[in-house]
Chains A and B, each alone.
Chain A
Amino acid sequence: MKKSGRLLTLAIVFLTCMAFGVSAQAEQTKLTMYYPVAVGGPLTKIVDSMIADFEKANPDIDVAAIYAGNYNDARIKALAALKSGKPAQLSVMFSIDIYDLIEQDAIVPFEEFAETDEDRAWLKSFYPALMENGMTMGKTWGIPFQRSTIVMYYNKDMFREAGLDPEKPPQTWEELATMGKKLTTKDRWGAMIPSTGYPYWMFGALCKQNGEVLMDGDGKRTFFNKKGVVEALTFWNDLSAKHGVMPKGAIEWSTLRQNFLEGKTAIMWHSTGNLTTVKKKAKFDFGVAMLPASKMRGTPTGGGNFYIFKRTKPEERKAAMRLIKFMTSPERSAEWSMKTGYIGISAAAYKTAALEKYITDFPPAKVARDQLQYATAELSTFQTGRVRKLLDDAIQAALTGKKTPEKALGDAQKSAERILKPYR
C-alpha cells in the first residue's frame, strides 16, 4: 500500500498548490491602486511611505499600492485587473492614456463627484499646464501626481574645461550645436537626447521650441508632417549627422543617466524626475537648465495622473478621493518633489516652508517649475499606443539614417491619419 500512498501524496501536493494559487487571489483590500515608475531612485519606497502615512491618518481605509513597472505596464495591468475579478479603484497611469481609457469606458471624470465648492476649487488648484493632458471633452479625467518636464542637465566641470561659462548653458539651438562642438572630445560627447523609451516626448520639446505642436486638443488629428515638425527632427538628426556632437543611432533612455554620471556626455536632456538621483550620484559640479529655444522655449509636460475607475462603489470613490487629495496636497507634493525631482503640482506646494527652503539651497529644483510657463501637452490621441509608436518609429528611422526626416514623418502622418479618421 505504500506505493499508492505516493499517488495520494502527489494529489495532496497538487491540490494544496492549487488552493494556494487561488487563495492568493482572495486577499482583498479596500482600495487597490497601480502605479508606474519611469525614472531612477527608490521611488517605490517613497510611494509606500506616503501611503503608510495616509493609512495612519485614515485608519478606515486600507490601500494596496502595486508597483506595476513602466507606464505601459501600469496601464496594461490596471486594465487587465478591471477585466479580471480583482479590480483596482484608482491608479496612477500615464497622463496620455486618457483617450484610451475613455474609449475602454474605464474611467470617470472628477466632476461627477466634486460636489462641494471646495472640491471644485481643489480641481482648479493645480498648475494649468499640468491639467492639459488630464482634460478633454470639457471634463477633468486625471489629477496630476508624478509630473515632469524635460530639463537639460549639464556638467559644469566640462564647461569650464572647454572654456565655456558654466553659468551660461546653451540658450538656443545654435548655441547647443556650437557649445556642443567645444564640449565634444575624443572621450566624450557634447550632448545626448535619448531616443528610446520615450522618443516622442523629447521630440515634443523640439517641436514646441520650433513653434509647433504634435496634435490637436481632442486627440483626433496629428501634425507630424508640418514643416516646423520636420525641421525639428532635422535639427535633432543634425546634432549627430552634421554637428557631430551626439552619437549616431538611437540613444538609450535607461542608460543615459549612467553615461552622464560617468562623464561620457557633457549635456543630457532628461526627465526632471531624475534630478534627485543625479544630485546624489554626481561626483562633479552639475547644473540644470531650461531647454534651449529655436523660435521659443518649450517642453511637453510628462508623467502620471491619478484616475478613478468607473466600476467602483460610491464609498470606494469617496475613499479614493480622500487618497488622491492626500497625495496631491501641498505638503505631500512638496515632499514628493524633494525626494524625486518631479514638479510640485500646485503653486501652494512651492509655498510650503520645506520646499521653499529646498529650492533656495538647491536652485536646480525650480527649473522644471519655471519652465512650466512654456510647456505644452504631451502627445496623446485616440489609439495612443499605436500612434505614439508610429512617431517613435519615425524618429528612430530618421536618427538611424534609414529615412530622411521628411519621409519618416510623412509616412507616420499617413498611417496616423488612417488610424484616427474613424474617430472624427
Chain B
Amino acid sequence: MTGVYAWLLLMPATILLAAFTHYPTIATFVQSLFSNKTVFRPSRFVGLDNYRAIFDDPVFFKVMQNTLLFALGTVPLSIILALLMAIWVNKHIPGRGFVRLAYFTPTILPMIAVANIWLFFYTPDIGLLDQLSALFGGQGHNWLGDSRTVLGCLMVMTIWKEAGFFMIFYLAALQTHPPELEEAARLEGASRITFFWRVTFPLLMPTTLFVFINALLNSFKLVDHLFILTKGGPDNASNLLLYYIYENAFSFFDTANAATLTVVLLALLATLAILQFTILDKRIHYR
C-alpha cells in the first residue's frame, strides 16, 4: 500500500524528469546517428558518420581545447579566491558587511546584463582597462579582438561572477568550525599559515571537492556572455562547446551535428559524475 502512495507522490516529478532529462538524453544519442532532413534529402541512418564529421572539423578541436582551457583557467582560480574571500569575511574585519555584499553581488546579477558592462572594460582605447593603462603610459590593447587574450578576458569575467557564489559554500563550512580550535592552535604557537594548512584546509576538503565539481559543471554550461561579448570569435578563439552546439542547431539548422556535439558534452558530464561518485566520499553530500 505504501508503495502505491510513494509512486503516486513521485509520479509528477518523474514524468517531467523523464520528459526533459532522460528522454532527451537518449533521443540526442539516437539523433546523432541520423543525417539531417532537408527539402532535398530525407533523414537517414548514417551510423557514426556524424562523429567522423566532427572529428574532421578543425573548429571542433578548437572548441574542445577552449572548453578545457576555460575550465582549467576558471575553476582553480575561482576556488582559491572563494576560499580567500570566505576566510576574510569570516573574520571581524572592519566593514565586513560591505565586503561580503561586494563579493556576493555578482552572483545575483544576470551574466547577460553584466556582459555589456564588461564589454566597456575591454573595449580598446576608450574602455576602462585601456584608460587605466593609459594613465600609466601603457599602450591600448585590443583585448577581445586578439585571439591570445580573448579567452583570458572571458575567464576573468567568469571568475568574477563565480567566486562570490562559491565563497558562500566555504563560509558555510567555516562557520561550523569551532573557534576553540584556532585559539588552541594559537596557544600552541602555531602561525596562521600553519594553522590554515594543518587544520582549516583539511577540514574544508569536502567543501572544496563539492565546489570543484560545481565549478567544473558551470564552466561547461555558462556561455551567456559569449552572446554579447565575442560570439565565439575572433576565429573561434573564444568559442565554447555549448555555444557551438547552439550555433549548429539554431544558426546552421544542423541538428545532426548539434546532437553529435551534445553527446560529446554528455560524455564529459558523465565522466564528471563518475568522478564525483567514485573519488568523492559519498557520505558527504549525497547520502
A–B direct touch in complex (beta carbons closer than 8 A): yes
**CB of A406 closer than 8 Å to a CB of B:** no
B interface residues, Cβ below 8 angstroms from A:
38-41, 58-59, 119, 123-126, 140, 142, 144-147, 230-231, 233-237, 247, 250-254
| Most A Cβ at <10 Å: residue of B119, B142, B231, B233 | B233
Given A195-B234, A393-B236, A252 and B39 contact (CB-CB distance below 8 Å): no
Q: Is the CB of B142 within 8 A of A393?
A: no
Q: Is the CB of A247 within 8 A of B235?
A: no
Which of A169-177, A219-227, A254-262, A311-319 participates in binding chain B? A254-262
Q: Is the CB of A247 within 8 A of B142?
A: yes
- The proximity string for A residues 367-410 relative to B, scoring 1 for CB distances below 8 Å and 0 otherwise, is 00000000000000001011001001110110110100000000
- Report chain A residues within 8 Å CB of B140: 247
Contact among B58, B123, B233, B253 with A255 in the assembled complex (CB-CB below 8 Å): B123
- Report chain A residues within 8 Å CB of B237: 396, 400
A–B Cβ pairs within 8 angstroms, 19 of them = A103-B39, A104-B39, A104-B253, A196-B230, A197-B231, A247-B140, A249-B142, A249-B146, A252-B124, A255-B119, A259-B124, A259-B125, A264-B126, A383-B252, A389-B252, A400-B145, A402-B235, A422-B41, A423-B40
* Smallest Cβ-Cβ distance to B142: which chain A residue: A249
Given A255-B123, A258-B126, A400-B234, A248 and B251 contact (CB-CB distance below 8 Å): no
- Report chain B residues within 8 Å CB of A105: 39
- Report chain A residues within 8 Å CB of B126: 255, 258-259, 262, 264
State the total of A-B contacts with C-beta under 8 angstroms: 96
Nearest CB on B from A13, distance (A): 16
Q: Is the CB of A196 within 8 A of B235?
A: no
Q: Which size bracket describes the interface of A in this complex?
A: 35 or more
* Smallest Cβ-Cβ distance to B41: which chain A residue: A422
**CB of A100 closer than 8 Å to a CB of B:** yes
- Report chain B residues within 8 Å CB of A259: 123-126
**CA of A91 to CA of B287, assembled, Å:** 54
**CA of A251 to CA of B142, assembled, Å:** 8
- Report chain B residues within 8 Å CB of A72: 251
- Report chain A residues within 8 Å CB of B236: 393
CB within 8 Å of B: which A40-96 residues: 72, 76, 79-80
Q: Is the CB of B252 within 8 A of A196?
A: no
- Report chain B residues within 8 Å CB of A389: 247, 252
**CA of A411 to CA of B57, assembled, Å:** 11
